Amino acid sequence: MKTRITEMLGIEHPIILSGMSWISTPRMVAAVSEAGGLGILATGVLDAAQTREAIKEIRGLTDKPFGANASLLFPGAAANAAVCLEEKIPVINFSLGKGDWIVQGAHEYGGKVVATVTNLRHAKRAQDYGCDGVIATGNEAAAHGEPPTTFCLVPSLAAGLDIPVIAAGGVGNGRGLAGALALGAEGVAMGTRLMTTVESPLHENYKKLSLEKDIYDTIYSRKFDGLWCRVLDTPGARKATKRGIFPFGYLTAIPNSKFIADMLGLPYWKMFVGVLASGWDNARQLAYMANAFKQIKEATEDGDLERGVLPVGQVTGLMNDIPTVKECLDRTVAEAEEIIKVRLAGMVPA
């Protein structure tokens, strides 16, 4: 299957692994790239040295194209993006910030840059400063999709941009891929489906639970990490989205932010003062995220169903097995091609 995305990124299938913290690890990235898609390394929980080592590990596992992401709102993200530029990785995906400097640096060595967006205004800004494509995150997606659904967001962006659009949210099989292409996308990003595969490092407790859940079994709230965020409906998620940040969440954010500082190798008090100096709104947002990071780790790595919180999309209700990454990509593309060539073609008079 050929689209502008497969041609631009040098991949076989128009399928991208979403960059998910503690999930999109080097081995997972390599598995997706080896299967013909584009693996994207999640750098949000890595420091600069760890990011460099992860890139080295990926290159030892595959010679296929791969990428890495940087959520620019997070502490240490700019340093990780700088490492990606120094290592001249093929694709950089950024979100939650202005990445014009990333575009400039990547284009100097022939790299591609894709911005994650949730509306046409931000997508046009990304196009204006040279991004090669955008990932459109619809409401159905895990984590940070905003109210517009994929069915409306993707056509809006496809009609308003010259650069290719990658659909994220609501895609977990060939039906979703075929539908996204019909809406004007040139490829799809899959997170929830790919995190429940053999190679995924997601804890088995959550792999099993994801298969048991229906399309209705997610919670969409701003009270988990301060942004609109979709997570799996579990006891931990219900508690987190009920209590929010005020007042006791600020107290737990202090030790949890120290956990983040230690994880990223940042001096805690320097980070703490820097967050406070960045303004109240930003400090409040980062307090939310400090608590959220801890709970996501408890879900993905520890499998804690009571305290952990796992970002998932509504396609959790469409999954009924745990395939290998290759099986997942191959059958997604085969099903999409069958739908396009046979079912849809048969509906159009000759």
pLDDT computed for residue 251 by the predictor = 46
Q: Tokens 């991208």, residue?
A: 16
pLDDT at 31 (0 to 100): 98
> Which pLDDT does position 225 carry in this prediction?
82
Question: Given this model, what pLDDT does residue 80 score?
Answer: 96
Mean pLDDT over residues 106-126, rounded? 97
Q: Looking at the predicted structure, is the pLDDT value of residue 70 above 90?
A: yes
Q: Are 285 and 315 in contact (CB under 8 A)?
A: no
Q: Is the pLDDT of residue 272 over 60?
A: no
Is the pLDDT at 95 greater than 60? The verdict is yes
pLDDT higher than threshold 70 for residue 273:
no
| DSSP strands (E only) in 8-147 | 15-17, 39-42, 66-71, 91-95, 112-117, 133-137
**Is residue 28 pLDDT above 80, yes or no?**
yes
Q: What is the reported pTM?
A: 0.89
Where does the pLDDT of residue 91 fall: very low under 50, low under 70, confident under 90, or very high at 90 and above? very high
pLDDT at 254 over 60: no
Is residue 138 within 8 A of residue 150, CB to CB? The reply is yes
| Residue 202 confidence (pLDDT) above 70 | yes
- More reliable by pLDDT, 280 or 45: 45
Percent of the chain past pLDDT 90, that is, above it, reads: 75
Average pLDDT score over residue span 20-37: 97
Q: How far, in Å, CA of 8 to CA of 44, rounded?
A: 25
* Model pLDDT for residues 287-296, shown as the tens digit of each residue: 666 678 889 9
Which residues are CB-contacts of 110 (< 8 A; sequence separation ≥ 6)? none
Q: What is the mean pLDDT of residues 232-243?
A: 90
Q: Tell me, what's the pLDDT at 197?
A: 98
The type of residue at 57 is E
Q: Work out the average pLDDT over 59-67.
A: 98
What pLDDT shows up at residue 345? 81
Average pLDDT, the chain: 90
Between CA 232 and CA 238 the distance in angstroms is 9
Average pLDDT over every residue of 202-230: 94
Q: Per-residue b/e over 63-76, b at no fewer than 16 CB within 10 Å?
A: ebbbbbbbbbbbbb
The residue whose two tokens read 């994880």 is 263
| Residue 229 DSSP label | E
- What the chain holds in terms of domains, given with CATH numbers, is 4-202+319-345 (3.20.20.70), 214-300 (no CATH)
Q: Is-contact 70 81, C-beta < 8 A? A: yes
Q: Determine the pLDDT at residue 242.
A: 85
Please say if the pLDDT value at position 247 is more than 50: no
pLDDT of 203 above 50: yes
